[in-house]
Structure 1
Amino acid sequence: MNPGAPGAGETKRFVFSGREGAVQAGLEHTREALRSWSWLPTADEERLGVAEDLLLMVAELVANACLHTSGGPGELRLRWDGRRLRAEVTDTSPVPPELRPYADPGRPGGHGLRVVERLAGSWGCAPEGGGKVVWLEIGCPPGPPNHRECSA
């Protein structure tokens, strides 16, 4: 952990109130967290790309909970330790997400976890309560060498 990074060691939580508007609400919560941790705004294209990738992956996890579980998403948790950010989405289904075989790119659906697999440093699923938590982790976005957020 890098205690000098803004917000290092902090967890931001958002409890969903149903499926309707869940993806947008999750994205707004994530943007707010990224702003509080000084990931956004940024003029650096690489740092912006990492933040946008995170937003895309969070949208995918929330959308999967909306589409594939009876109760929808439960909670979004974002944990920043100064070196990596972990995003977690809980739901009430104990069934783990399935990484589908490569599908026809022209057909909708079934591609989201492939995107997460390519963009995240790591991802997975664990039982939680009677359901599960699906998580992903990304490293600190690149920045100037004198940027304190990810320094050793």
Structure 2
Amino acid sequence: METEITLVGAEFVQRFTATRRGARLARRLAVHQLDEWGVPYGSELSDDVAVIVAELAANAVVHGYVPGRDFELRLTAGAHVLRIEVSDAREERRPVLRAPEAGAVAGHGLRLVEALSEKWGVAERGVGKTVWAECGTGGSAPWPDRRGSSGQPVSP
């Protein structure tokens, strides 16, 4: 009998400087956190999350930049889904999925996010916005249960 293993309620939250270096660090720490949760480097889920975080963080740095403000990365593990959120301080520049221009080498980031996630969207927050994406874990996630004996999530 096979037991379904899940990591319900685990969360990783980190703020980064709104720079290229911050975006690169966000991607690296996201896959590191997944590895800590039992999702190995180089797995399909790890690689998909790396691309999604890279694209959303790059958008936060390039299009959501407000001088002196950071962006935030949040990963939340559910029973069958991993939610990725990148928040920035710019409210008026909301991402829009557009048809790519012929020959364009840029502007494909959201198409990658759309292709690699089950769904994605934009949510308002107190200051700025949050762009989120959700990736399925295939039903039996490769990570341990992090709920305490009370059934409440335990910090990873």
Output the TM-score relative to the length of structure 2: 0.78
1:32: Cα distance to partner? 1.7
CA–CA distance in structure 1, aligned partners of residues 137 and 114 of structure 2: 17
Counterpart residue number, 2:14 = 14
Counterpart residue number, 1:53 = 48
1:137: Cα distance to partner? 0.2
Structure 2 counterpart of 1:129, one-letter code:
G
Deviations along 1:63-93, one digit per CA (max 9) or x if unpaired, are 0011112326511000001311000000011
SS at match of 1:113: helix
CA–CA distance in structure 2, aligned partners of residues 114 and 79 of structure 1: 22
Compared CA separation, residues 139 and 81, structure 1 to 2 (3 A): same
Deviations along 1:28-78, one digit per CA (max 9) or x if unpaired, are 210121112111147xxxxx1222111101100000011112326511000
Alignment of 1:1-152 (within 5 A): 4-5=5-6, 7-41=7-41, 48-71=43-66, 73-95=70-92, 96-104=94-102, 106-141=103-138
Give 5+ residue unaligned stretches, structure 1: 43-47
Compared CA separation, residues 103 and 18, structure 1 to 2 (3 A): same
Q: Is the 8 A contact 1:83 1:149 kept in 2?
A: no
| Structure richer in helix, relative to its length | 1
CA–CA distance in structure 2, aligned partners of residues 140 and 85 of structure 1: 7
SS at match of 1:137: strand
- Runs in 1 of length 4+ with deviation above 6 angstroms? 147-150
Higher relative contact order (CA 8 A, sep 6+): 2
Equivalences, count: 140
Q: Is the 8 A contact 2:10 2:77 kept in 1?
A: yes
CA–CA distance in structure 2, aligned partners of residues 35 and 138 of structure 1: 16
CA–CA distance in structure 1, aligned partners of residues 30 and 143 of structure 2: 22
Identity %: 32
| CA-atom RMSD in angstroms | 2.7
SS at match of 1:13: strand
Which shows bigger deviation, 29-38 or 130-139? Answer: 29-38
Compared CA separation, residues 70 and 23, structure 1 to 2 (3 A): closer
Counterpart residue number, 1:45 = none
SS at match of 1:22: helix
